[in-house]
Structure 1
Amino acid sequence: MTSQAKTARKRRRSLSSRLYTWLTSMNLAIALLSILAIASVIGTVLQQNQPVNDYLIEFGPFWFEVFNTMGLYDVYSMSWFVAILLFLLASTSACLIRNTPGFLRDIRSFRLNAQDKSLRAFAHSRQYQSDLPAATIVERTQGLFKQLGYKARVKEREGEILVAARKGGMNRIGYVLTHLGMVVILVGGLMDSKMYLKTLNTLGVVEVETRDLPVSQVPEESHLPPGALAGFRGSVNIPEGKWGDVAFIGLKDGYVVQNLPFKIDVEDFHIEHYDTGMPKSFNSQLKLTDKESGEVIEETIRVNHPLRYKGYNIFQSSFGDGGTELEFDAWQLFGKVGTKQELEGKVNQERTFDFSGEKHTLEFRDFTLFNVNPTEGPDGERENTNFGPSVTFRLRDAAGQAIEYENYFQPVDFDGTKYFLSGVTAEVGGQQQFLFIPADRNDSLETFMAFYATLKDRDEITRIAVDLVGQTSQGQQGGAAQSAAARSIADMVETFVEQGFSALAEQVDRQLAERDMPPEMADQAQESSFRVVQSVLMRAYMETLQDQGVEEFGDRDEDFFEKALDVVTVIPNYGSPIFVAPSSFNHIQSTGLEVTRAPGMFWVYLGSLMLTLGIFMLFYIHYRRLWVLIKPAGVNDDGDSAHHRVVVAGTDARKNIDFDQAFAQFSDELQRQTESNNQKNPPSHPDNPGRSE
């Protein structure tokens, strides 16, 4: 082999050696563990796998994109997180492979080749002389070792005897268990991760579906057969009285469908609420039917009490609406105002209708049975009041623009007056505003809608204005003048209804300015115009009551009139050509189930146990070695004859103060038992109380 080849081979070995050293370094392990800890904190603080709109509303467009690019909305499934786990697994495994053989050899070895010079160089070392026979010294040394729990071996060599002892070898086993436990935990975690599913997606075996489709319409390439994944975590919503046999696994911006080997029937769903309306507890009564064997299991699950079957776990995770059946009245607010249609619908379904040549879609989104809100009671104290059930829906026009509404089934009492409430959210993340429509004496919308229809009927308002002008003119004006005055009044009423009081005031000011009146007369004329409009509105309202058979006009009717006028001027901004008044419902709930299969859980638990035991061994078991070397000697330092020189040495892997005391006690006791009767204890080493020479 040439020198260049040898040099190249040496460089390759040097590079691989440096790489191996880096992979097994403590710095790399600490860095990886720190990154994992930070990622875990983020994954705990920031709720994972929530709807995209929730993150967009909370963080705004800029930070939403930043966090989305970093993958913080699904930390534990990100490629970089899995890559760190793999690196940590490789690093820990390399450390285990490198150190385990040496540790195992170390705990089996008594190191019987220790020499005199090396023993005296130990930090814990002392020597003294004894005139006892070597056999006696060895016997007493072994007895003391046994008493202290050490295992000892004796070796004779070239006229000297070495007694070597050790204890706490499980400390080294603790190192192995600690690292092996981490390896087992990481392997178990990777088994339950989405790494395999992502690999299948990368290879094109599985396609991610991003559309919101029924299970029957999801393409076959987005389905996984039972058992395709060793571990997964999916979810499914099943309404009461319905069944399901799949779980949806979120992946990237969509999902894949995992087919299950059993069918889940939801026979009943029950929920309890606190006084505040918040859910107190909820549970599902399930019937599980095995597709292959036909085995049937019936069990009620609740939060933290899942149903377990053949490695699958079915958790109670959430609840929602399962398609509540609705009946409602659709009141027209434009066109044929005041007319209504009795319609039906379902939550999570759409209903399309045409209005004035334009297509509109009602998308029923949710149903809420209890709406508990804080209100002020009769005594002025805050109390919780249930506003009753409500339905949330979106009205989408032909251009695709939608406004969200939340309408309540029954009128709500505010300060003695009942109102039908309709919450309006014009844009995503916008503040909800409410439309308050007063209820009539029958707690219905009939009176208001009839009154509003009259105000929107130009011919009817003109007729009322003509009658009013005829009553006030007393023959002083001709027919043409009365008609012109009536039309002018009708115009003002129309302006008030369509645009509000401020627009009416501007219109009156313009008309008076054209007449060039003095200020005093203009003010009187303006006030007179307002009174005329008020009279027409009141006449229209009273005729509405008469048509409904109301004979007496009381204070309650007057109060209703004033509040109805407040509503009339804001309806043009309501944004909907109809008012949906829900009337009855058949409540159907849906249970949210989380279906998991986690074969790695056993290994995670096993690894955690190994890690705990290993840490316990490392911290509470001390790996210690002691040596006693007995050498022939002639005359001691005092001029007395001596048979042997005894060298005592010891070491502790942890090098703590406890061993200083333990070594001093051992060496003192050994010296007391084996030293000559006339021999004094030698002085302690000035720098180490456990060492003397």
Structure 2
Amino acid sequence: MAISTTGIQLQKGPQWLREALELISSMRFSISLLTLIAIVSVIGTVVKQAEPVINYVNQFGPFWAEIFHTIGITSIYNTAWFISIMGFLVLSTSLCVLRNAPRILADMRDFKEKTADRSFAAFAHKAQIDLPLSEKETQQKLSTLLVERGYSLKVTSRQDAGVRYAAKKGLSNRWGYIFAHLAIVMICIGGLLDSGVPLQIAAFIGGKKPLHSNILIKDIPQNAVMGLRNLSFRGNVQVTEGQKISHALLNYKEGTLLQQLPFEIELKKFVVEYYSTGMPKLFASDVVVKDEDGKSFPFRIEVNKPLVHKGIAVYQSSFDDGGSTLHIIAYPLIGDRANSFALTAEVGNSTPLVSPQGASYTIEWSGFRAINVENMDLATEAVMAQTQSQKQKLKDSVANVSGSAAAKKLKNLRNVGPSFSYKLRDKTGQAREYNVYMLPLMLEGQQVFLAGMRQLPSEPFRYVRFPADEQGSLAGYMRFRAALNNPILRERAAERFAMKASSANADKAVRKQLRQSAQRGIDLFAGTQGQEGAKIGGYTAIAEFISGNVKADEQERAADVVLKVVFGVATELLDLAREQEGLPLLKDREASSPFIQQALNAYSDSFFLGAPVLLTLKDFRQVQASVFQVARAPGTFLVYLGALMLIVGTFAMFYIRERRLWAVVQSDRANTTTVRFAMQARKPGLEFEKEFLQLKQAIAAWDKS
């Protein structure tokens, strides 16, 4: 029996209804919907789902981000059109099964014993064998042979026409069609049950309205709370160590609903275990679960070991800071003072800040990590936005000479110690995000402090290396930075450099010219006001000056000379800064050269940080938090069962071969019996040909027995 690909055809009713029913119940419609869902699922896999809107704007631009948001590509699986496609696929596939299943089952039961009467001679695979056996003996042997070969038999006899056999095997492959199509129905129904459809229906019936702002749990109105009987949901909740929760937060219509839970979870401790290499091997949460009747039990929730209780699964989704206390030391990055000041902050809160120039900022303390096992590209990339290729080429040349942009290699680092992150927001609302490591790292033979900045969440942090002094602190660099911003000290340093760089009997005019050149170079490096009022300093300022005053073919040599002069003046400037604070001079000039060079690099790169101060971590008191995904998914069983049925159905359709056989045993004369038989397969192949020949040879062998 061929499976019908057309739909149900009504004999009565309006034409539009008959045509619609025929289309929806047709197999071609089901296949089209399944193909469409596959394409949409690919899009949903490529485009990250449920990300913040700004991420899509950064990735695709405002135009396409708006289009994607409007048609629902950013949240495909909960859109009305995708759910409608799923619903029509369930309906169409169900109608296909209902239309074809009765005929398939009837065909499986039918031995088609009358087929041989009408078309025995028309079969391609048929044979006639005469045997010197009695009819009864032949019948017995044939029945035994077919049963041994796995056939089901139906024997009929007709007067003067011998005994007729109708046999079949492998018809269970027809179950493959039914199982495969029912599997699609079950998987889709399970997916719909676990999607946002039940929540949307329950919220609509209950008149629920989502929250669009932060509010205390006790102040949440009842029309934003989902009850315990909610059929299906998937939400998240963050629990701080020592905190108890009995709710989850559900995303609904760009807002939030509060989902009540039938039990309470208390986070005792968040646990992280590490391999000997420093890489983490386990993230787990030790919790105590308490029911409404007062009974409680402990449980450890791990990444692949969720808590399942009262039909609700609690997964270890992520972890975060639960409000750690940070003790901060702030160093100025502008001005000629190196005085630091202390701050005490709590992650999740904010602190007002006034810069040395009087500008107002807000520090938003966004995160803290006590352990960092990272593989970082620590090459500093100063942001130097320029339009002229010649200028960019010169800046790259200067950076390569100085080492700021040299050796951009990945360093395999293990645990690099604590770090904290914060956002610095100005009065216009614009913010930059910073990530600062607490401890100095040994990179390329030198201890440096790392401070990273990014302007967009989608960007990686770009790090500046601030050199650690002989005490392993930032004080030495900050002392040097303040001196570099002091015009009096710069002038004295330039004069010292000119005295040491020129011979004792050098002409005063030559010495004066050298001093002026050194003064101009160090002033440029320290920073001047640009054409648009922005401060330009470091290697960028030197590059700007050389590109505007030196011929193109001489710029590289000029850059090398200027950088050597700046380095020499910086050496004298460091000595003056130490003298000013009553500190002994560094005796080994050669040993201090890496510090001076890195200090120059850091000063040049610090312009792209865009911050008036550098915040560093002195001490902390860590409080951890777990992020749990809480889900009630009644469709999970249907999805798993559907997947199993799909595997079984596919296996049955492709690996179980249907066979039908018809045979007639008739005695023509004394002690001579004729066996005529024919075989048929839905998809004949080499295996079928082999089976037919084996059966023919087995029957013919009775002549020799």
Normalising by the smaller structure, the TM-score range is 0.7 to 0.9
Residue correspondence of structure 1 range 499-648 to structure 2 within 5 A: 499=528, 500=537, 541-546=577-582, 550=584, 555=589, 574-628=609-663, 648=677
1:188 corresponds to 2:190 = yes
Cα-to-partner distance string for 1:377-396 (whole Å, 9 max, x where unaligned): xxx99663654322111111
Answer yes or no: is the 8 Å Cα contact 2:493–2:573 preserved in 1. Answer: no
Answer yes or no: is the 8 Å Cα contact 1:325–1:346 preserved in 2. Answer: yes
Answer yes or no: is the 8 Å Cα contact 2:328–2:619 preserved in 1. Answer: yes
Bigger mean CA offset, 132-141 vs 281-290: 132-141
1:582 Cα deviation after fit: 1.8
Residue correspondence of structure 1 range 40-55 to structure 2 within 5 A: 40-44=41-45, 47-55=48-56
Partner of 2:426: 397
Residue correspondence of structure 1 range 252-271 to structure 2 within 5 A: 253-271=254-272
1:310 Cα deviation after fit: 2.2
Query: C-alpha distance in 1, partners of 2:410/2:600?
Result: 31
Cα-to-partner distance string for 1:214-236 (whole Å, 9 max, x where unaligned): 655655433322231x2333222
Out of 365, 369, 372, the residue aligned to residue 370 of structure 1 is 372
RMSD, aligned α-carbons: 5.0
Answer yes or no: is the 8 Å Cα contact 1:266–1:284 preserved in 2. Answer: yes
Partner of 2:304: 304
Answer yes or no: is the 8 Å Cα contact 1:367–1:392 preserved in 2. Answer: yes
Answer yes or no: is the 8 Å Cα contact 2:234–2:629 preserved in 1. Answer: yes
* Partner AA of 2:117 in structure 1: D
Partner of 2:239: 238
1:270 Cα deviation after fit: 2.0
Answer yes or no: is the 8 Å Cα contact 1:164–1:625 preserved in 2. Answer: no
Answer yes or no: is the 8 Å Cα contact 1:166–1:623 preserved in 2. Answer: no
1:11 Cα deviation after fit: 7.2
Query: C-alpha distance in 1, partners of 2:566/2:142?
Result: 118
Residues 294 and 128 from structure 1, CA distance in 2 versus in 1: closer, same or farther, beyond 3 angstroms? Answer: same
Normalised by the length of structure 1, the TM-score is 0.73
Residues 130 and 382 from structure 1, CA distance in 2 versus in 1: closer, same or farther, beyond 3 angstroms? Answer: closer
Q: Which has the larger radius of gyration?
A: 1
1:303 Cα deviation after fit: 2.0
Matched position secondary structure for 1:80:
helix
Matched position secondary structure for 1:173:
helix
Matched position secondary structure for 2:365:
strand
1:108 Cα deviation after fit: 3.0
* Partner AA of 1:396 in structure 2: R
Query: C-alpha distance in 2, partners of 1:465/1:657?
Result: 95
Residues 211 and 119 from structure 1, CA distance in 2 versus in 1: closer, same or farther, beyond 3 angstroms? Answer: farther
1:288 Cα deviation after fit: 1.4
1:326 corresponds to 2:326 = yes
Answer yes or no: is the 8 Å Cα contact 1:306–1:315 preserved in 2. Answer: yes
Query: C-alpha distance in 1, partners of 2:702/2:154?
Result: 19
1:384 corresponds to 2:420 = no
Query: C-alpha distance in 2, partners of 1:89/1:294?
Result: 43
1:256 Cα deviation after fit: 3.2
Answer yes or no: is the 8 Å Cα contact 2:483–2:574 preserved in 1. Answer: no
Answer yes or no: is the 8 Å Cα contact 1:120–1:126 preserved in 2. Answer: no
Cα-to-partner distance string for 1:105-140 (whole Å, 9 max, x where unaligned): 233333454573334344445568999998777666
1:327 Cα deviation after fit: 0.4
* Partner AA of 1:93 in structure 2: S
* Partner AA of 1:384 in structure 2: L
1:403 Cα deviation after fit: 1.9
Cα-to-partner distance string for 1:492-532 (whole Å, 9 max, x where unaligned): 998875524899999x99xxxxxxxxxxxxxxxx9xx9999
Query: C-alpha distance in 2, partners of 1:530/1:671?
Result: 106
Residues 162 and 84 from structure 1, CA distance in 2 versus in 1: closer, same or farther, beyond 3 angstroms? Answer: farther
Answer yes or no: is the 8 Å Cα contact 1:423–1:432 preserved in 2. Answer: yes
Answer yes or no: is the 8 Å Cα contact 1:245–1:262 preserved in 2. Answer: yes
Answer yes or no: is the 8 Å Cα contact 2:347–2:367 preserved in 1. Answer: yes
Residues 504 and 129 from structure 1, CA distance in 2 versus in 1: closer, same or farther, beyond 3 angstroms? Answer: closer
1:408 corresponds to 2:409 = no
* Partner AA of 2:200 in structure 1: K
Bigger mean CA offset, 87-96 vs 45-54: 45-54
Query: C-alpha distance in 1, partners of 2:141/2:34?
Result: 50
Query: C-alpha distance in 2, partners of 1:137/1:667?
Result: 14
Matched position secondary structure for 1:388:
coil
Cα-to-partner distance string for 1:160-211 (whole Å, 9 max, x where unaligned): 4663423334333343333333322322222222222234456683334454
Q: How many residues align?
A: 618
Residues 18 and 670 from structure 1, CA distance in 2 versus in 1: closer, same or farther, beyond 3 angstroms? Answer: farther
Answer yes or no: is the 8 Å Cα contact 1:264–1:287 preserved in 2. Answer: yes
Residues 32 and 321 from structure 1, CA distance in 2 versus in 1: closer, same or farther, beyond 3 angstroms? Answer: same
Bigger mean CA offset, 657-666 vs 124-133: 124-133
Residues 382 and 617 from structure 1, CA distance in 2 versus in 1: closer, same or farther, beyond 3 angstroms? Answer: closer
Matched position secondary structure for 2:178:
helix
Partner of 1:444: 473
Query: C-alpha distance in 2, partners of 1:554/1:545?
Result: 19
Partner of 2:88: 87
* Partner AA of 1:83 in structure 2: S
Query: C-alpha distance in 1, partners of 2:34/2:134?
Result: 57
Cα-to-partner distance string for 1:302-350 (whole Å, 9 max, x where unaligned): 2212222122222223223222210012344568944443221122221
Partner of 1:512: none
Partner of 1:349: 349
1:583 Cα deviation after fit: 0.8
Normalised by the length of structure 2, the TM-score is 0.71
Percent identity over the alignment is: 32
Out of 213, 223, 226, the residue aligned to residue 225 of structure 2 is 223
Query: C-alpha distance in 2, partners of 1:258/1:131?
Result: 83
Residues 128 and 283 from structure 1, CA distance in 2 versus in 1: closer, same or farther, beyond 3 angstroms? Answer: closer
* Partner AA of 1:261 in structure 2: P
Query: C-alpha distance in 1, partners of 2:303/2:74?
Result: 24
Residues 304 and 372 from structure 1, CA distance in 2 versus in 1: closer, same or farther, beyond 3 angstroms? Answer: closer
Answer yes or no: is the 8 Å Cα contact 1:152–1:163 preserved in 2. Answer: no
Out of 172, 175, 181, the residue aligned to residue 173 of structure 1 is 175
* Partner AA of 2:189 in structure 1: V
Residues 399 and 657 from structure 1, CA distance in 2 versus in 1: closer, same or farther, beyond 3 angstroms? Answer: same
Residues 164 and 351 from structure 1, CA distance in 2 versus in 1: closer, same or farther, beyond 3 angstroms? Answer: same
Residues 160 and 22 from structure 1, CA distance in 2 versus in 1: closer, same or farther, beyond 3 angstroms? Answer: farther
Matched position secondary structure for 2:435:
strand
Matched position secondary structure for 1:651:
strand
Partner of 1:361: 362
Residues 663 and 428 from structure 1, CA distance in 2 versus in 1: closer, same or farther, beyond 3 angstroms? Answer: closer
* Partner AA of 2:681 in structure 1: D
Cα-to-partner distance string for 1:659-693 (whole Å, 9 max, x where unaligned): 44545555676688799x9xxxxxxxxxxxxxxxx
Answer yes or no: is the 8 Å Cα contact 1:422–1:436 preserved in 2. Answer: yes
* Partner AA of 2:299 in structure 1: E
Answer yes or no: is the 8 Å Cα contact 1:541–1:561 preserved in 2. Answer: no
Matched position secondary structure for 1:443:
coil
Query: C-alpha distance in 1, partners of 2:164/2:539?
Result: 108
